[in-house]
Structure 1
Amino acid sequence: MSTLDAVSMMESPIISKLVPSGLLNETIGAMLISAIVGAVLQGITSGQTIIYYVGSKSDPIVIKSLIFFVWVMNLLHTFLVTDAVYVYTVTGHTDPSALQKLTWSAMAIILENVIGDLGVKGIFSYRVWKISRQWYLAFLIMVSALVSFAFAVFTVAKMIMDPSAPAYAPSTYGTLIGLAGSDILMSVILAAVMYKHRSMFPRVNRVLRTVVMYSVETSLITSAGAAVGLIAYAVIPDKPIFMAILWVLPYLISSSVLVALNARQSLREKSTVVHSAEVNRFSRDTWRSGATR
């Protein structure tokens, strides 16, 4: 078959009827946009990772290792999304039934998402434990992440048994609700820990509130992303639009921890200056008070 004949076949009404434009918009279009946005966010996350390693040399090896693990999982996520989009847009572009089947990479993305989420939750759990010295708070964060992981493993197992079947609703709902719920729980615990360990100096408290703002706001963004995916799945469960939405979620999750960690350097310097000034003023006022007695 010549190139001209192939082009004519692709433009024929037969192929148009086989693959309706509406189906392409709701599947391929959403996946392609998600892949492009994800690639941009991967670049931003890589830049944040470099900034972290340059400015946080004193961090323990546990945190540094978890940051590297999260970055590698993001890189793997980008590869898997690219493979899934390639299969749907190139390999099976003339086969409408291909759009109704999950590729191995699309199924692997689900597991990769929750594994990366475990890494991020591990970083936040470690920080909570270091600040509060209350292991059960870190334990609660990790348990909430493990619930999502368990649901995701069950979902992928069902998909492997029948890739053409719709996503198993109970476990899919459990995964999405678990992702959103764990982020909300983590935000509440972070805010409570920071509030309990606030300083006696008002300006230092303002610095702590800034840390809480970074941590809580970024966590709420990721929980909102999971909630949007949950709503999309509840409204149109037979279309993979919810998967395209969730493809962006790992980048938001990793950015949440990197933004919080990278903000510490400037906040730490500001805290040191402010703390010294407050201590000096406190000491001066105390000395004057004693001198006038």
Structure 2
Amino acid sequence: MTSSLPQIPALDDTFGALVIGTFLGLILYGISLNQIYAYFGSYANDKLGLKLLVATILVLETLYTITTAHICYHYLIINYFNPANLVVSVWSLNLIPVETGLLAFVTQCFYARRLFLVGRQYWPIVLIVIAILLVELGFYTAATYIAWTSGSFAILTDIEWMLTCGTSLALAADTILAGMLVKVLRDSRTGITKTDTMLNVIIMYTVNTGLLTSIFALVSVVLAVKYPHNLWNAITGFPNIRLYSNCMLAALNARKSLVERGMGVHTSISGAPSQPSISLRVFSFQRRAVETKNVDSSNGAQQTQDDVFRNRSLPAFSAVKYDH
């Protein structure tokens, strides 16, 4: 009787890799939900655009979670003993490329916008990055279209080069954006200890987050090139796209702590700043003078932030406002 059972192919390098990538992605999805909850609780006064951006990330992350979970359930539960169906693609598997492209596009546009707000001299670089992101999204969308019209699981090997090109372009955009943002921050050093300390923290944060997503993207590309006929790259590919949104959300949630560290502002449990009081509005990498009244305890003199920074702009995280 045992000899009459259908032969089940080895699944460790295909669906096994998908399961591992899905599990890692679910962990990061939980972290994203926690960050989104923290964002809406701490930044209720943010501009509507930022709130819509975070809501968009929530929708895309949730759809990505549903599709990856459905892939595992469809192939490994519903068709666990039906090898013939393992070679037929399912809608959720076909949607993965375009969902990946959309998540990467949205989060990287967030960083591109920051560079855009620095000044006109960086606009050509921003245009190059946007062009890269559009081509990246085009590769992912084309991959989804081909997979959808084919209906065959084997088509994944034929469109693997598209997915690899999309991941490589995302890696290139990451490198350009991280490098330019670090340059902007380094050029904004003022010689004032507190200000430079905050800038050093932001530089370290920018490098580390950019390096994290770049490493995962690079490993995905290497695995896709080295093993073109299996899905080992899903182990890093699935969680990598979650890292994009997590890094963006972490940047949004870190604004208050970074500004407080640099400006010496300490907030109470209620979120109100303690003395000395500071009225401050910081916009994303925007070159504009921000009047900051700083009360000197010894002589009571007041000075504007223009004086403090000697007419040099301070790139900082967006839409933070403290009112005394």
TM more than 0.5: yes
How far does residue 241 in structure 1 lie from its aligned partner after superposition?
2.1
Q: Does the alignment pair 1:231 with 2:219? A: no
Aligned residue number for residue 116 of structure 2: 129
The answer to whether structure 1 residue 146 and structure 2 residue 173 are counterparts is: no
Structure 1 stretch 92-101 or stretch 230-239: which is displaced more?
A: 92-101
Aligned twin of 1:176: 167
Unaligned runs of 5+ in 2: 266-277, 279-291, 301-324
What is the DSSP-based 3-state SS (H/G/I as helix, E as strand, rest coil) of the residue aligned with 2:264? helix
Match of 2:106 among 110, 113, 119: 119
Match of 2:240 in 1: 249
Q: Is the 8 A contact 1:225 1:245 kept in 2?
A: yes
Q: Which residue of 2 aligns with 1:211?
A: 202
Provide the secondary structure at the position in 1 that maps to 2:233. helix
Alpha-carbon shift at residue 101 of structure 1 (Å)? 3.6
SS at match of 1:24: coil
**Identity within the alignment, %:** 23
Q: Which SS does the other structure have where 1:241 is aligned?
A: coil
Matched, 1:19 2:5: no
Which 10-residue stretch deviates more, 156-165 or 86-95? 156-165
Moved over 6 A (4+): 274-279
**8 Å contact kept, 1:215–1:257:** no
Amino acid at match of 2:172: G
Check conservation: 1:27, 1:99, Cα contact below 8 A.
no
Cα distance in structure 1, aligned partners of 2:39 and 2:11: 40
> Partners of 2:88 and 2:61 in 1: how far apart?
24
Aligned equivalents of 1:110 and 1:192: distance in 2?
32
- Length, aligned pairs only: 270
Higher helix share: 1
Please tell me the root mean square deviation across aligned C-alpha atoms, in Å: 2.7
- The worse-fitting range, judged by mean Cα deviation, of 212-221 and 133-142 is 133-142
In the TM superposition, residue 254 of structure 1 has moved relative to its aligned partner by 0.5
1:188-203 equivalences in 2 (<5 Å): 188-203=179-194
- What 5-or-longer segments of structure 1 have no aligned partner? 1-8, 285-293
Q: What CA distance in whole angstroms lies between the structure 2 residues aligned with 1:114 and 1:150?
A: 8
What letter corresponds to residue 52 of structure 2 in structure 1? S
SS at match of 1:26: coil
Q: 1:278 to 1:212 in 2, by over 3 A?
A: farther
| Partner residue in 2 for 1:30 | 17
Cα deviation code 1:89-142 (max 9, x no counterpart): 012212334333432111201101111111111221222233445433433332
**8 Å CA contact 1:74, 1:250 repeated in 2:** no
* Structure 1 residue 79 displacement after superposition: 0.3
- Per the TM alignment, residue 279 of structure 1 is displaced from its structure 2 partner at its CA by 9.4
In structure 2, relative to structure 1, the CA distance for the partners of 1:173 and 1:30 (3 Å cut) is: closer
Q: Is the 8 A contact 1:125 1:137 kept in 2?
A: no
Mapped contact 2:194–2:263 kept (Cα < 8 A)? no
Secondary structure of the residue aligned to 2:80 is: coil
Question: Displacement of 1:63 after TM fit?
Answer: 1.9
What are the Cα deviations for residues 66-95 of structure 1, in whole angstroms up to 9, with x where unaligned?
121112111110000011111110122123
Q: Structure 1 residues 170-179 or 109-118, which shifts more?
A: 170-179
> Equivalents in 1 of 2:53, 2:257: separation in Å?
22
CA distance in 1, matches of 2:46, 2:128: 24
- C-alpha displacement of 1:14: 4.8
Q: Secondary structure at the match of 1:267?
A: helix
State the distance in 2 between where 1:198 and 1:58 align: 29
Structure 2 distance, partners of 1:131, 1:200, is 20
| CA 204–237 in structure 1, closer or farther in 2 if over 3 Å, else same | same
The CA deviation at 1:64 is: 1.9
